[in-house]
Amino acid sequence: MTLTPDNDIPRISTGVAGLDEMLSGGLVEGSIGVIVGAYGTGKTTFALQFVWEGLVRGETAIYISPEESEESVVRYMAMKGWEIGKYLHTSFFVLKLDPTNFNLSINTIRNDLPPLIKKFGATRLVFDPISLFEDLFESEASRRYEMYRFIELLRDQHCTMMMTSETARDNPLSSRHNLIEYLVDTVILLRYVRPDDRTRVHLALEVVKMRRSPHSREIRPFEIGSDRVEVLPAVDAL
Protein backbone atom coordinates (compact mmCIF):
# COMPACT_ATOMS: atom_id res chain seq x y z
CA MET A 1 0.00 0.00 0.00
CA THR A 2 1.31 3.47 -0.82
CA LEU A 3 0.29 6.16 1.59
CA THR A 4 -0.19 9.68 0.37
CA PRO A 5 1.67 11.95 2.78
CA ASP A 6 -0.28 14.97 3.94
CA ASN A 7 2.21 17.69 3.08
CA ASP A 8 0.54 20.22 5.34
CA ILE A 9 1.60 18.31 8.46
CA PRO A 10 5.26 18.77 9.48
CA ARG A 11 6.85 15.37 10.07
CA ILE A 12 9.78 14.24 12.17
CA SER A 13 11.78 11.30 10.85
CA THR A 14 12.13 8.35 13.21
CA GLY A 15 15.50 7.53 11.65
CA VAL A 16 14.10 4.25 10.29
CA ALA A 17 13.10 4.67 6.64
CA GLY A 18 10.59 1.81 6.54
CA LEU A 19 8.88 3.03 9.70
CA ASP A 20 8.68 6.60 8.39
CA GLU A 21 6.98 5.23 5.31
CA MET A 22 4.41 3.42 7.50
CA LEU A 23 3.82 6.69 9.37
CA SER A 24 3.17 8.65 6.12
CA GLY A 25 6.53 10.39 6.45
CA GLY A 26 7.29 10.26 10.18
CA LEU A 27 5.88 11.27 13.53
CA VAL A 28 3.74 14.40 13.50
CA GLU A 29 5.90 17.25 14.78
CA GLY A 30 5.29 17.90 18.47
CA SER A 31 3.38 14.64 18.94
CA ILE A 32 4.01 11.88 21.46
CA GLY A 33 4.57 8.29 20.36
CA VAL A 34 5.08 5.06 22.23
CA ILE A 35 6.88 1.89 21.17
CA VAL A 36 5.37 -1.09 22.93
CA GLY A 37 7.18 -4.41 22.99
CA ALA A 38 8.36 -7.34 25.10
CA TYR A 39 11.92 -7.58 26.41
CA GLY A 40 14.52 -7.61 23.67
CA THR A 41 12.19 -6.64 20.83
CA GLY A 42 14.25 -3.51 20.07
CA LYS A 43 12.49 -0.68 21.92
CA THR A 44 15.70 1.00 23.08
CA THR A 45 17.29 0.51 19.67
CA PHE A 46 14.39 2.30 17.92
CA ALA A 47 14.41 5.04 20.56
CA LEU A 48 18.14 5.67 20.16
CA GLN A 49 17.90 5.66 16.39
CA PHE A 50 15.24 8.37 16.74
CA VAL A 51 17.70 10.34 18.91
CA TRP A 52 20.60 9.79 16.51
CA GLU A 53 18.54 10.95 13.52
CA GLY A 54 17.83 14.20 15.34
CA LEU A 55 21.47 14.74 16.30
CA VAL A 56 22.79 14.33 12.76
CA ARG A 57 20.12 16.77 11.58
CA GLY A 58 21.47 19.34 14.04
CA GLU A 59 18.66 18.99 16.58
CA THR A 60 18.93 18.66 20.34
CA ALA A 61 17.72 15.51 22.11
CA ILE A 62 17.13 14.41 25.70
CA TYR A 63 17.08 10.72 26.66
CA ILE A 64 15.49 9.90 30.02
CA SER A 65 15.75 6.49 31.57
CA PRO A 66 15.32 4.93 34.98
CA GLU A 67 17.38 1.98 33.70
CA GLU A 68 20.25 3.17 31.56
CA SER A 69 23.10 5.38 32.71
CA GLU A 70 24.72 7.93 30.43
CA GLU A 71 27.71 5.63 30.21
CA SER A 72 25.70 2.64 29.00
CA VAL A 73 23.74 4.73 26.48
CA VAL A 74 26.95 6.17 25.08
CA ARG A 75 28.53 2.72 24.95
CA TYR A 76 25.51 1.32 23.10
CA MET A 77 25.53 4.16 20.56
CA ALA A 78 29.29 3.82 20.04
CA MET A 79 28.80 0.09 19.44
CA LYS A 80 26.44 1.01 16.60
CA GLY A 81 29.25 3.09 15.10
CA TRP A 82 27.53 6.37 15.87
CA GLU A 83 30.03 9.03 16.88
CA ILE A 84 28.21 10.46 19.80
CA GLY A 85 31.15 12.25 21.43
CA LYS A 86 30.74 15.58 19.67
CA TYR A 87 27.03 15.77 20.56
CA LEU A 88 27.21 14.67 24.19
CA HIS A 89 26.49 17.54 26.62
CA THR A 90 26.12 19.98 23.74
CA SER A 91 23.07 18.68 21.89
CA PHE A 92 22.55 15.29 23.55
CA PHE A 93 21.66 14.90 27.22
CA VAL A 94 21.01 11.74 29.20
CA LEU A 95 18.94 12.02 32.36
CA LYS A 96 19.02 9.03 34.68
CA LEU A 97 16.11 8.79 37.11
CA ASP A 98 16.11 6.91 40.36
CA PRO A 99 13.30 4.36 40.02
CA THR A 100 13.34 3.59 43.74
CA ASN A 101 12.69 7.16 44.82
CA PHE A 102 9.14 7.88 43.76
CA ASN A 103 8.84 11.47 44.96
CA LEU A 104 12.21 12.45 43.61
CA SER A 105 11.42 10.92 40.21
CA ILE A 106 8.00 12.54 39.95
CA ASN A 107 9.26 15.91 41.09
CA THR A 108 12.33 15.81 38.88
CA ILE A 109 10.19 15.19 35.86
CA ARG A 110 7.37 17.59 36.67
CA ASN A 111 9.46 20.51 37.82
CA ASP A 112 12.78 20.11 36.05
CA LEU A 113 11.91 18.68 32.67
CA PRO A 114 9.95 21.57 31.06
CA PRO A 115 12.66 24.15 31.90
CA LEU A 116 15.34 21.70 30.73
CA ILE A 117 13.62 21.21 27.38
CA LYS A 118 13.46 24.98 26.97
CA LYS A 119 17.00 25.61 28.17
CA PHE A 120 18.52 23.04 25.81
CA GLY A 121 16.11 23.83 22.99
CA ALA A 122 15.35 20.12 22.72
CA THR A 123 13.21 19.05 19.80
CA ARG A 124 13.34 15.31 20.55
CA LEU A 125 12.77 13.57 23.84
CA VAL A 126 12.85 9.88 24.70
CA PHE A 127 11.51 8.26 27.86
CA ASP A 128 12.75 4.66 28.01
CA PRO A 129 10.77 2.89 29.44
CA ILE A 130 7.76 4.88 30.59
CA SER A 131 6.30 1.65 32.05
CA LEU A 132 8.81 1.73 34.94
CA PHE A 133 7.53 5.19 35.78
CA GLU A 134 3.91 3.99 35.55
CA ASP A 135 4.73 1.19 37.99
CA LEU A 136 5.46 3.73 40.71
CA PHE A 137 1.82 4.66 41.34
CA GLU A 138 0.05 2.80 44.08
CA SER A 139 -3.44 2.63 42.66
CA GLU A 140 -4.95 2.33 39.23
CA ALA A 141 -6.87 5.57 39.79
CA SER A 142 -3.80 7.61 40.72
CA ARG A 143 -1.84 6.12 37.80
CA ARG A 144 -4.57 7.18 35.35
CA TYR A 145 -4.89 10.64 36.78
CA GLU A 146 -1.17 11.33 37.18
CA MET A 147 -0.19 9.90 33.79
CA TYR A 148 -2.88 11.98 32.10
CA ARG A 149 -1.51 15.12 33.81
CA PHE A 150 2.03 14.15 32.95
CA ILE A 151 1.28 13.64 29.24
CA GLU A 152 -0.61 16.94 29.11
CA LEU A 153 2.40 18.68 30.67
CA LEU A 154 4.70 17.13 28.06
CA ARG A 155 2.32 18.06 25.26
CA ASP A 156 2.82 21.73 26.02
CA GLN A 157 6.58 21.51 25.35
CA HIS A 158 6.41 21.47 21.50
CA CYS A 159 8.98 18.72 21.40
CA THR A 160 8.48 15.42 19.52
CA MET A 161 8.59 12.53 21.96
CA MET A 162 9.12 8.81 21.74
CA MET A 163 8.40 6.68 24.78
CA THR A 164 8.83 2.97 25.16
CA SER A 165 6.74 0.55 27.19
CA GLU A 166 7.14 -3.03 28.19
CA THR A 167 4.21 -5.29 27.38
CA ALA A 168 1.72 -6.68 29.88
CA ARG A 169 2.69 -10.01 31.41
CA ASP A 170 -0.25 -11.83 29.85
CA ASN A 171 -0.72 -9.86 26.63
CA PRO A 172 2.03 -9.18 24.07
CA LEU A 173 -0.27 -6.70 22.31
CA SER A 174 -0.75 -4.36 25.27
CA SER A 175 1.51 -2.07 27.27
CA ARG A 176 2.11 -3.08 30.87
CA HIS A 177 -0.78 -1.05 32.29
CA ASN A 178 -2.84 -0.78 29.10
CA LEU A 179 -2.98 2.96 29.65
CA ILE A 180 -0.28 4.82 27.72
CA GLU A 181 -1.79 3.75 24.36
CA TYR A 182 -4.84 5.86 25.14
CA LEU A 183 -2.86 8.93 26.18
CA VAL A 184 -0.35 9.31 23.35
CA ASP A 185 -0.79 10.14 19.66
CA THR A 186 1.04 7.26 17.99
CA VAL A 187 1.40 3.62 19.02
CA ILE A 188 3.97 1.32 17.41
CA LEU A 189 3.90 -2.32 18.44
CA LEU A 190 6.94 -4.61 18.25
CA ARG A 191 6.58 -8.33 18.71
CA TYR A 192 8.04 -11.76 18.17
CA VAL A 193 6.56 -13.95 15.47
CA ARG A 194 7.17 -17.68 15.55
CA PRO A 195 6.26 -19.18 12.16
CA ASP A 196 4.91 -22.71 11.80
CA ASP A 197 8.22 -24.07 10.52
CA ARG A 198 9.76 -23.16 13.90
CA THR A 199 13.16 -22.59 12.38
CA ARG A 200 13.63 -18.96 13.35
CA VAL A 201 12.02 -16.28 15.46
CA HIS A 202 11.12 -13.13 13.52
CA LEU A 203 10.55 -9.62 14.74
CA ALA A 204 7.55 -7.74 13.37
CA LEU A 205 6.21 -4.24 13.71
CA GLU A 206 2.86 -2.55 13.23
CA VAL A 207 1.52 0.98 13.60
CA VAL A 208 -1.57 0.52 15.74
CA LYS A 209 -2.69 4.10 16.10
CA MET A 210 -1.76 7.50 14.75
CA ARG A 211 -3.79 10.59 15.55
CA ARG A 212 -4.25 13.22 12.82
CA SER A 213 -2.59 11.12 10.13
CA PRO A 214 -3.12 8.19 7.80
CA HIS A 215 -0.84 5.24 8.52
CA SER A 216 -0.07 1.77 7.29
CA ARG A 217 -1.85 -1.18 8.86
CA GLU A 218 0.62 -3.69 7.51
CA ILE A 219 2.54 -6.05 9.75
CA ARG A 220 6.12 -5.69 8.60
CA PRO A 221 9.18 -7.71 9.59
CA PHE A 222 12.22 -5.84 10.84
CA GLU A 223 15.78 -6.72 11.63
CA ILE A 224 18.15 -5.29 14.18
CA GLY A 225 21.48 -5.02 12.42
CA SER A 226 24.86 -4.17 13.89
CA ASP A 227 24.45 -0.48 13.00
CA ARG A 228 20.74 0.11 12.43
CA VAL A 229 17.21 -1.25 12.42
CA GLU A 230 15.76 -2.08 9.05
CA VAL A 231 12.03 -2.45 8.37
CA LEU A 232 11.46 -4.87 5.49
CA PRO A 233 8.53 -5.12 3.06
CA ALA A 234 5.46 -6.96 4.31
CA VAL A 235 5.49 -10.70 3.59
CA ASP A 236 2.64 -13.19 3.66
CA ALA A 237 4.66 -15.59 5.76
CA LEU A 238 4.27 -13.55 8.93
Ligand X SMILES: Nc1ncnc2c1ncn2[C@@H]1O[C@H](COP(=O)(O)OP(=O)(O)OP(=O)(O)O)[C@@H](O)[C@H]1O
Burial state string for 154-188 with b = 16 or more CB within 10 A and e = fewer than 16? bbebebbbbbbbbbbeeeeebbbbebbbebbbbbb
Q: Which one among 43, 176, 215, 220 touches ligand X, defined by CB under 6 A?
A: 43
Answer yes or no whether residue 15 interacts with ligand X by CB under 6 A: no
CA nearest to 27, candidates 45, 51, 58:
51
Q: How far apart are CA 27 and CA 235, in angstroms?
A: 24
Question: What are the residues whose beta carbons fall under 8 Å from the beta carbon of 151, sequence distance 6 or more?
Answer: 32, 183, 184
| x/- map, 140-179, ligand X, by CB under 6 A | --------------------------x-------------
Alpha helices, DSSP H only, in the chain? 17-22, 43-56, 70-79, 102-107, 113-120, 130-134, 140-155, 180-183
Contact between residue 136 and residue 106 where contact means Cβ atoms under 8 Å apart: yes
Q: How far apart are CA 92 and CA 178, in angstroms?
A: 31
Answer yes or no whether residue 44 interacts with ligand X by CB under 6 A: yes
The residue count for the chain = 238
Tell me, by CB under 5 A, how many residues bind Mg ion.
2
Identify which of residues 41 and 91 has a Cβ nearer to ligand X in the complex. Answer: 41
Window of 36-44, 50-58, 107-115, 214-222 that interacts with ligand X by CB under 6 A: 36-44
Question: What are the residues whose beta carbons fall under 8 Å from the beta carbon of 31, sequence distance 6 or more?
Answer: 160, 161, 184, 185, 186, 211, 212
| x/- map, 193-222, ligand X, by CB under 6 A | ------------------------------
Answer yes or no whether residue 26 interacts with ligand X by CB under 6 A: no
216 binds, among ligand X, Mg ion, none (CB under 5 to 8 A by kind): none
Q: Which one among 13, 14, 41, 44 touches Mg ion, defined by CB under 5 A?
A: 44
CB of 201 to ligand X, least distance (A): 10
CB of 180 to ligand X, least distance (A): 15
Tell me, by CB under 6 A, how many residues bind ligand X.
12
| x/- map, 45-74, ligand X, by CB under 6 A | x-----------------------------
Answer yes or no whether residue 186 interacts with ligand X by CB under 6 A: no
Answer yes or no whether residue 226 interacts with ligand X by CB under 6 A: yes
Q: Which one among 39, 81, 115, 197 touches ligand X, defined by CB under 6 A?
A: 39
CB atoms within 10 A of CB 89: 10
Chain residues binding ligand X by CB under 6 A are 37, 39-45, 166, 224-226
